[in-house]
Amino acid sequence: MRDDNRAVSTVIGVVILFGFLILALSLYQVEVVPQQNAETEFQHSGEVRNDLVELRAGILQAGSIDQPQYQTVQLGTSYPTRVFTINPPPPAGTIRTTESYPITIASNGTVIETIPTRFIEYRPGYNELDQSPTWYDASVLYLDARQEGGGIAVIEDQSLVNDGKVQITALQNEFRRSGTGRVTVELRPAESITGDIPEGDLNVTIPTRLSDEEYWNGTDISSDIYSITDDENGDNVHNLTLETTTTNLTVDTVGVQEAPEEPSQNDNARLGGGGSDSSGELPVGLVYNNDAIAIDGNDDPSPDRSGGVKFSVTNQYEQPVTITSMTIDPDSPDINELDDAVPNDFTGNRDPSADEVEIWTENSSGSIQYSEWTTSFGDSEALAIDDQVTISPGTDGDANSDTLSRIQSGQQLGLSMYEFYEEGGKRFPYDQNNNMNMSGEQLTITLVYEFDDGTADSTTYQMTPS
């Protein structure tokens, strides 16, 4: 009898195919899986960066308006589900406050007030991308790669000094969370009143992890009013000293998850300084109600998006104020105009016709007063935005209501802008513009206003419409 080897070639073929399959899966595991996971981590890094920008804004806002803020941070992420290949553990992240460091306020060389503050560190646990932490430090938000031999990359610049005024926010309480989910950070301003700052010149010393060469000498803070020490204690913390006066100093105190342990601010979230109204008490200001939303009128562009923004502020001064100008500064560099194009109705009470900007409030008799910035309704006309734009609703524009908005003490002022457009990429910058969905887009608004005695002030708000 002869041997029958007819099945041997089939078995060998199956073994070879199986080997190729194992090799292909191995290559996929080694090459493709890390690339896909790196893409997931990169997408999360952008999302958490936006969360940390909002967290910084919430810290500064909680103290300045004396109202709690609630910000969320997506600590980590998860990789796509795989059937034949294996993922590493999901990359978790950690957010924490550091140990406490002192802010000191000195007059004539004598320390008269000490307020503890902390930094915030967010550190990702990525498997593919680098794991450089992001820090919130003396109002600056930056990516810190110094431990890996790199430098810093500033995300949000300092807000300590602006137009000669010094505004400091002390951050207090221990806080630490780790994981892959979303965590809510509660930011609560001080509840009690402490501190007595004498009038005159002051030296305010603030802890910072950034040296003069790494950051501070590149800011717009005048070298005449600041100095910074080396890291004398070996803890990577420097002392930034600012020269100011009592009337130009604001100190807010914010606690994480609960009120600060050592509150040091007054009714207006200020320690010393500030102007006063006719009753002699410090004013609270025009307070943003944290209610910005993206809106859409009765238009029908293609595609149709919620390209407008609506929000309100409350007058917590003890006297009326009159809005004289408004600066609109969208964060997106692609936005280049406000263009209503068709009639719309923001308020539900009337059709205000084609208004790029509308402000409404109750007057002393309780009736609604409108102040508008409007073009002459031509399709080719719009409010051009070159990075930012400043207007006076009611008194400029091609068509207007001939009145400035006046808001009584305790009443709300509503504001709407319609509709933000971004460049369409054609030959001319305004050709084929697309209305932009403003949900999730950061916007900075500055209101300049006057009191009845002729003095003026301004307030800047950062908001992200929902």
Question: Which of 207, 418, 127, 459 minimizes the C-alpha distance to 325?
Answer: 459
Cβ count near 434 (within 10 Å): 17
Contacting residues for 327 by C-beta, under 8 A, at least 6 apart: 388, 389, 390, 444, 445, 446, 448
Query: How many angstroms separate the CA atoms of 438 and 340, rounded?
Result: 15
Arithmetic mean of pLDDT, 110-129: 91
Query: How many angstroms separate the CA atoms of 65 and 75, rounded?
Result: 27
pLDDT of the residue at 22: 79
Model confidence at 278, in pLDDT bands (50, 70, 90)? very low
Query: How many angstroms separate the CA atoms of 440 and 294, rounded?
Result: 8
Per DSSP, 261 falls in state S
| Average pLDDT, rounded, for the chain | 79
pLDDT of the residue at 342: 42
Arithmetic mean of pLDDT, 201-229: 90
Model confidence at 98, in pLDDT bands (50, 70, 90)? very high
Arithmetic mean of pLDDT, 307-317: 86
Tell which wins on pLDDT, 231 or 462: 462
Whose tokens are 């999302």? That residue is 47
User: What is the CA angle 369-375-379, rounded to 5?
Assistant: 135
User: What is the CA angle 407-411-413, rounded to 5?
Assistant: 60
> What percentage of the chain has pLDDT greater than the value 90?
24
Q: How many helices (H) and strands (E) does the chain have?
A: 2, 32
Q: Which two tokens stand for residue 14?
A: 């199956």
Question: Which of 318, 314, 326, 324 minimizes the C-alpha distance to 405?
Answer: 324
> What percentage of the chain has pLDDT greater than the value 70?
79
Terminal-to-terminal C-alpha distance of the chain: 84
Question: Which of 409, 398, 395 minimizes the C-alpha distance to 359?
Answer: 395
Arithmetic mean of pLDDT, 67-81: 87
pLDDT in tens, 392-429: 887 766 556 667 888 888 888 888 888 888 876 554 44
Arithmetic mean of pLDDT, 273-290: 54
Query: How many angstroms separate the CA atoms of 410 and 384, rounded?
Result: 34
Q: List, in sequence order, the alpha helices (H) in 389-432.
A: none
Query: How many angstroms separate the CA atoms of 415 and 401, rounded?
Result: 15
Query: How many angstroms separate the CA atoms of 158 and 121, rounded?
Result: 17
365: pLDDT strictly greater than 90: no
Give the 3-state secondary structure of residue 217.
Answer: helix
pLDDT in tens, 11-68: 777 777 777 777 877 887 778 888 889 999 999 998 999 899 989 988 988 877 777 7
pLDDT of the residue at 350: 40
pLDDT of the residue at 68: 79
Q: Which two tokens stand for residue 239?
A: 């002392």
Asked which of 26-35, 107-116, 147-156, 390-399 is least confident by mean pLDDT, the reply is 390-399
Query: How many angstroms separate the CA atoms of 440 and 460, rounded?
Result: 19
Asked which of 54-68, 211-225, 321-335 is least confident by mean pLDDT, the reply is 54-68
- Contact between 399 and 375 under an 8 Å Cβ cutoff? The reply is yes
